Structure 1
Amino acid sequence: MRHRVRHHEWHKGKGRLVGAGPKALDCGSLLPLFSAQPAARSIAAKPPIIPFIRVAMLPAGAAIATAGCGLFKAAAGCTQSKAFGPAATFALTRALISITPMKPFLSQSLLASLAAALVPVSLSAQESAPQELAPIVVTGKAEDLVGVASTASQGRASSEDLLSRPVLRRGEILEIIPGVIITQHAGGGKANQYFLRGFNLDHGTDFAVSVEGMPMNMRTHAHGQGYTDLNPLIPELLQGVEYRKGTFAAADGDLSTAGSANFLFFNQLPHNQATFEIGEDNYYRGLIAGSIMLDAPEAAPSVAADPKNPKNVGKNPVQPVSSGVTSGLTYALEYNTYDGPWVHPDDFKRWNGMLRYFHGDEDNFFTVTFMGYHADWNSSDQIPKRAIEDGRLDRFGTVDPTTLGESQRYSLNATFQTRDGDVVTRGNAYAIYYDLDLFSNFTYFLDYPDRGDQFEQKESRWIFGGNIARTWENAEFFGHEAEYTLGFQTRHDVIGDIGLYRTEARRRFLTVREDEVYEASAGIYGEAKTHWTDWFRTVAGLRADGYYFDTQSSTLSANEGDEFDGIISPKISAIFGPWHETELYLSYGMGFHSNDARGVNTVIDPGSGDRVDKVDPLVRTQSAEIGVRSQVMPNLTTTLALFWIESDSELVYIGDAGTNEAGPGSRRYGLEFASYWRPVEWFTLDAEIALTHARFTDSGNDDYIPSSVPLMFSGGITLGAHGQEEGPFASIRARAFDRRPLIEDNSVKGKSSFLVNAGIGYRKKNWEAAVECLNLFDREDNDIEYFYTSRLQGERAEGYDDIHLHPTEPRTFRVRLTYKF
């Protein structure tokens, strides 16, 4: 019988190798296919038809393990090993591939390679010595996801991808996702500004971010819907990030119209480390992190040759191997401080801590992760362009030196996975405490000429929730290979204190509104993946969500109340291929965006006292995508996606004013291209480009969406030692975005930006040293620009319409020293 090899769904870089049973591979029947010359019996296989299964030669005593979808590479903790002659030993972890009977699909060379890798083979000691090959292990964004991904824009990035990028701010790690731009318009502790696919995502609206299933977005937030602060993440602890774009995945619900990202932690860090960083403008960072193993891997019993087990027919007894079951603790403590180039220093101070318990193996595991974060900072808010040009303000100056912020977040997240044959159950439950106290001033002295326009946004909340999903692998649908997933998600936000206040030098003189809010949601979804033929498969999903918005108390009793709403979202993707290691994707899906619970129940404007209409609780969105993913050239991953996104209304709660605005509908379409090339182990080249056309609908000629970026580019080169390899290393990266409209009639545009960051270093077994240069060419670009009316002291009462900007920080150097133990 012929067999097809396919890649399992990736979860923390792990999967499962199907064992004995009705669908097990009868490797003995494949041995006659292994008819190469003796020198070729070292498994230096020709490129296979399925590009994500490759076999390579390793030295004696080494082990092989799959690395994402890339080549096999040396790894510890293998679950099975067999000798292939006197000069080499091969092993295979229970990871990343499954083997199920299908129609003829593989070439004989690949079947021979798989048979030799999975089955012990007796080779004569008199045969020629094996030839050793140095495989190129492809992981992260360059991984071959042909046969795995459901869309061209889906992907994942590895720890190596994340750590090889010089970044100025913590939130910039999200720029690992093609097409994402990260900027800032205030102090270091405030959530960054996000841009993707023609969306000005503000601080996270319409892009869902989570950490192992625990949400980072804050709905009904004091500063803005979907507010997402990435400061609690420590990059060295991240194993990778899985990302998707569009409304095509059944598991993605609220705030995911533009896409979603889920960060994953290491269970056991690659090494313990102590890191110290120092840079200009009083930049200091210290980190200590490591893992403590609480027990040794449990040994699995020896399995004798069994004629009833096709895996053991005609073979010697299998030696005792490790089951990979481990227990341990991973810990980390980080402190960071930075003043920045500002005339009034940011004085940003950040503490982060993490403690993680893990137990299990790749099939059955349990983790509990505690995270703690606290930060305070001075707000370097945007300033008016006119004051810079006439010399009243320095480019790095401030109008109101009394603005600042303070925030903290503490969370407990428990995750688990169990496997019973082909049935996998995954889930998590979380509890979060969060608070924010933020003082800002964007219009200066326009509304209150004597006191100033400073305002305070303050909140504290508890969040409880969880997710659970069960997947039936290797199922059938009318004789076709299928996989089914059924999931349930719930979240509850208990917001006991959320308020907007007018302040003077951080002293309150007016309460605009103060509320207590309870918001709850529950969603159920199903997804079916079906292989109809060797060249056609589909992913169909259906999601149903219910929401409850309850403004339990408010400054104005008229704005109290509750509201229920629900929405159903179908999704479908059709995948054609692979042909010549290339796939074509067609996808369509419906999604939604929730609005602030206060806006859902507000009937009186708390600022003006005017009667206003309630906003819709849930707003329908939809998107489509046509894409191509190709691995036709060796070591080159290329994706192309054409997308379309439509929203019924750009409804948002205006946190700075304490009221709501119901904007018109919107439509966005564009193109994204990404390419990752790694011809040799020590060289990686990548490039990403995105073009977007974004307009309001039914808005006449004034239909431009402010701050919608029409063109962006990101690319870089990485040289030398990768990951944990020893030796010199270097990287240089560029990011650019074009001019964009700042007002609906497009009469005012923002400035284009082009920034280059670079780093160089040297790594040994126990230490590492590196130097980074941020904004290498010292360009005077702007991080963010807005166009609105403001007034400085001494100006006319009605103020001036002007561009307000937050400048890009000048060239700065940082040095990093790491000791590994």
Structure 2
Amino acid sequence: MSDSRSPTALRLAALAVALLPLPASAQEAVTLDELSVAGEAQPAPTTFSASAGYVGGVTGIGGALAPVASASGGIVSGAQVNARPVTRPGEVLEAVPGLIVTQHSGEGKANQFFLRGFNLDHGTDIALFVDGMPVNLRTHAHGQGYADLNFLIPELVGAVEFHKGPYFVRDGDFASAGSVRIDYLDTVAKTVALTSIGSFGYRRALTIGSAPLGEGNLLVAGEAQTYDGPWDVPDRLKKLNGVVRYSQGTALDGFSVTGMAYWAKWNATNQIPERAVAEGLIGRFGSLDPSDGGDTGRFSLSGRWSHTGEAGTTRANAYLIRYRMNLWNNFTYFLNFDSVTTGDQFRQLDDRVLGGAEVSHTVPGDLFGMPMENEVGLQTRTDAMRVGLFDTTRRQFRRAVIDDQVLETSAAFYVENRVRWTDWLRTSVGFRADGYYADVRSDTPANSGRARDGIVNPKLGLVLGPWADTEFYLNYGGGFHSNDVRGVTATVEASDTLAPVVRAPFLVPSTGTEVGVRNRSIAGLETALALFRLDFASENLFVGDAGTTEPSRPTRRFGVEWTNRYALTPWLQLEGDLTVTNARFSDRDPAGGRVPDAPTTIASAGISFGEGEGWFGSLRFRYFGPRPLVEDNSERSKATALLNGRIGYTFASGISLSLDVLNLTNAKADQITYFYESRPFAGGEARDDRHFHPVEPTAVRLTLAGRF
């Protein structure tokens, strides 16, 4: 067991004193856009229209969403997700209040995420799931928790369930900042076919259809996309995507089997040093290594099953995923190899098969006449992978730095008791136990080895109310993230020096607390305010010369989150969110106390309108505040404010035409900013500098969709 975390007994004692909390009874009905989550999901409404391609449908097995259990949790319908004009698929997750989704490389690479004062890199502390399958990849070649959402088809999204903080028994690895579960539709109300064209070589075609088959329904979807972007070296993104699903029954009694296939290939313009642009060596959209880029493939087979009887409700899901990625990056250019013919480019290879399953059983009952539920669950996952790092020049192999075979497996057991004590008091008490095992076979024998670790975390919740349409929430829980297991078994550097290294802990604990309130006293308006704190035993920080992350010092974050959703009419919706976070290292160090790249302020606002036939549209504003780039706060990034818009019309025939305008004000801002040492050109000066990836200039995309 790792000795880096506090004893479980101390956590349990502290929690018992505080009795802080979590979920309400699953028998309660929580409604959002008429999407009932009282146990069985109902058809999402199709009258709200703010997208050319979304037609609504039924979410079956995937629609059994949990009731809102905290002031910061919630559910977003597929219609609301698709009302957002977005640049890339992952940006639909910005429907989660306070979540920023950005990109610092080519469009085929995983997005970068920011939430609650975290630079989550490509997914280190936000757990993402699509249709019951985990998206985060542990011990990944590029970064721990790498979560590539580019296979997501937004028009298939039935609902998005999100939680913030480590308070929920179903959430384990990577979920300390939050978790997001995306469920696909089982059927669509109408077959849809659409085509989009736009600026910078954007082309997209999509078809989705479903039909009865036997006692169930068959759904088929296919997507193809190309995109160059505004870069001097075009992305030349090529992407193919497909989904086939057969389903029967409902969320409480039924099953589904789903196959997915995704492939993409692209060039990449990575972040560039400011001095190279200021000196006129390259333009704002230029590249210092035009051979950067990558390719990836993801193929999966998954199934879900549920049954409800007198003994309660049982749910099970299983998945098998085949994944491969090649990534060529050069973040420091000629820092390590001062040669025109060499440079610092490296290739990262990740080739794996992973599989897993989850089964849970919920038993309704009573405690001295008071409604009660007990839920028991088991989760398993195994990854068998080859992960490699190779020095390259213009994608040509020079030497192998790391080429390891890794087997990593885990199992988790969770229990939760939920009781409604009175009409105004509900509690939940639970715990989650996780165990990990890994076997590393390294090409550097001294770094081979086996590792084991485990962690037990309590999860407590309390809900008070409603009084005057107002509820109060208290939440407390422990969480964790796993580290790249190669750092857990390594004893020497993977270099010619074989210098000794300090091993990283396998599992890194976190502890979170939240107090919040939710009010619905004004018809159509839901407003929520949450105060939160999260402590982490070790922070993962970006390392420029490796293009990945490494464990760092312990941290503490506290902040406030305010979210608002206002349905003025059935066809007009407003929203506004604000998150302010203080992120600091919790130990003392002369280097300083600021957490690099940790955002202080994130804000967003939006308006959507449309109902059935006629005009529809949306306007979205997103503010990504300045961030410290180094521990002493001597270097800071600039703020980024973006405005995206959409206007469209749906004809009586079912044909829709819409126009998206992205970066409507043509803001010359940055998607991401880092501060580290680099040498832009061979023979030039090596020094620290800001490195940025610019926001794309104003772009338009025209979409024609037909429903039949």
With normalisation by structure 1, the TM-score equals 0.78
- Once the two structures are TM-superposed, the CA of residue 679 in structure 1 deviates from its matched residue by 1.9
Task: Write the mapping of 1:543-582 to structure 2, written as runs, cut at 5 A.
Answer: 543-551=432-440, 553-582=441-470
Partner of 1:738: 625
User: For residue 7 of structure 1, what is the aligned residue in structure 2?
Assistant: 28
Deviation at 1:577, TM superposition (A): 0.4
After superposition, what is the alpha-carbon deviation per residue over 1:196-242, rounded to whole angstroms, capped at 9, x for unaligned? 01110000111000112210000000000000010111111110111
SS at match of 1:598: helix
State whether structure 2 residue 487 is matched by structure 1 residue 599: yes
Cα displacement (A) at 1:479:
2.7
Q: Could you tell me how far apart the structure 2 residues matched to 1:452 and 1:327 are?
A: 57
Look up the match of 2:94: 175
1:655 to 1:426, Cα distance in 2 relative to 1, 3 A: farther
> Aligned partners of 1:660, 1:619: CA distance in 2, in Å?
14
Within-5 A mapping of 1:671-710:
671-700=560-589, 702-710=592-600
The equivalent of 1:777 in structure 2 is 665
Note the 1:62-101 alignment, pairs <5 A.
none
Given the alignment, which residue of 194, 210, 214 partners 2:129? 210
For residue 492 of structure 1, the aligned residue among 361, 371, 382 is: 382
Whether 1:803 and 2:690 are equivalent positions in the alignment is: yes
Deviation at 1:792, TM superposition (A): 1.9
Give the equivalent residue in structure 1 for 2:699: 812
SS in 2 for 1:453: coil
Could you give the per-residue CA deviations for residues 301-320 of structure 1, whole angstroms, max 9, x where no partner exists? xxxxxxxxxxxxxxxxxxxx
Aligned partners of 1:652, 1:561: CA distance in 2, in Å?
25
Deviation at 1:771, TM superposition (A): 0.3
Partners of 2:368 and 2:206 lie apart in 1 by: 55
Tell me the C-alpha RMSD between the 2 structures. Answer: 2.7
Of 88, 113, 118, which residue of structure 2 is paired with 1:194?
Answer: 113
1:758-781 residue CA offsets vs partner (Å, 9 max, x unmatched): 000011342111001000000100
Map 1:523-534 → 2, pairs under 5 A? 523-534=412-423
Contact 2:27 2:38 in 1 (8 A): no
CA contact (8 A) 1:150 1:539 kept: no
Q: 2:355 matched to 1:464?
A: yes
User: 1 CA distance for matches of 2:206 and 2:392?
Assistant: 37
Which of 610, 613, 616 is matched with 1:720 structurally? 610
Structure whose residues are more often strand by fraction? 2
Aligned residue in 2 for 1:89: none
The CA distance in 1 between the partners of 2:359 and 2:390, in whole Å, is: 40
Instruction: Tell me the amino acid that sits aligned with residue 677 of structure 2.
Output: T
**Contact 2:626 / 2:636 at 8 angstroms: preserved in 1?**
yes
- Segments of 5+ residues of structure 1 without an aligned counterpart are 19-64, 79-92, 98-139, 296-325
- Provide the C-alpha distance between the structure 2 equivalents of 1:541 and 1:816, rounded to a whole number of angstroms: 48
The alignment partner of 2:230 has SS state of coil
Instruction: Please give the alpha-carbon distance, in whole angstroms, between the structure 2 residues aligned to 1:226 and 1:254.
Output: 9
In the alignment, structure 1 residue 754 sits paired with structure 2 residue 603: no
Alignment of 1:213-362 (within 5 A): 213-295=132-214, 326-362=215-251
Partner of 1:494, secondary structure, is strand
How far apart, in 2, do the equivalents of 1:733 and 1:664 lie? 36
In the TM superposition, residue 720 of structure 1 has moved relative to its aligned partner by 2.5
Check 1:244–1:359 CA distance in 2 against 1; reply closer, same or farther (3 A cut).
same
Give the structure 1 partner of residue 538 of structure 2.
649
User: Which one of the candidate residues 681, 684, 690 is aligned to 1:793?
Assistant: 681
Is structure 2 residue 455 aligned with structure 1 residue 586? no
Identity of aligned residues (%): 42
Aligned equivalents of 2:326 and 2:552: distance in 1?
A: 28
* TM-score relative to the length of structure 2: 0.91
Out of 503, 518, 523, the residue aligned to residue 634 of structure 1 is 523
Offset at residue 700 of structure 1 (A)? 3.5
SS of aligned partner of 1:227? coil
Determine which of 390, 393, 397 is the counterpart of 2:286: 397
Q: Larger C-alpha radius of gyration, 1 or 2? A: 1
Which of 482, 507, 513 is equivalent to 2:396?
Answer: 507
The question of whether the paired residues in 2 share the 8 Å contact of 1:595 and 1:652 is answered with no
Q: Which has the higher contact order (CA 8 A, sep 6+)?
A: 2
Q: For 1:54-110, what per-residue CA distance to the aligned partner results, in whole angstroms no more than 9, with x for missing partners?
A: xxxxxxxxxxx7869x99xxx9999xxxxxxxxxxxxxx9xx99xxxxxxxxxxxxx
2:12 equivalent in structure 1: none
| Aligned-pair CA distance for 1:149 | 1.9
Matched, 1:711 2:601: yes
Q: Which amino acid aligns with 1:175?
A: E
SS across alignment from 2:81: helix
Distance 1:426 1:692, change over 3 A: same
How far 1:555 sits from its partner (Å)? 1.7
Note if contact 2:70-2:475 (Cα within 8 Å) is conserved in structure 1. yes
Instruction: Tell me the secondary structure at the aligned position of residue 200 of structure 2.
Output: coil
Residues 180-202 of structure 1: CA deviation (Å, up to 9, x unaligned) = 00111100000011000111000
Task: Give 3-state SS (helix, strand or coil) of 2:188's partner.
Answer: coil
Aligned to 1:387: 276
Query: Per the alignment, do residues 331 and 669 of structure 1 end up closer, same or farther by CA in structure 2, a change over 3 Å counting?
Result: same
Deviation at 1:510, TM superposition (A): 1.7
Unaligned runs of 5+ in 2: 1-24, 49-54
Give the partner amino acid of 2:412: G
Structure 1 position 621 matched with structure 2 position 510: yes
C-alpha displacement of 1:478: 3.0
Q: How far apart are 1:363 and its partner, in Å? A: 2.7
Helix, strand or coil at the partner of 2:187: coil
Give the structure 2 partner of residue 119 of structure 1.
none
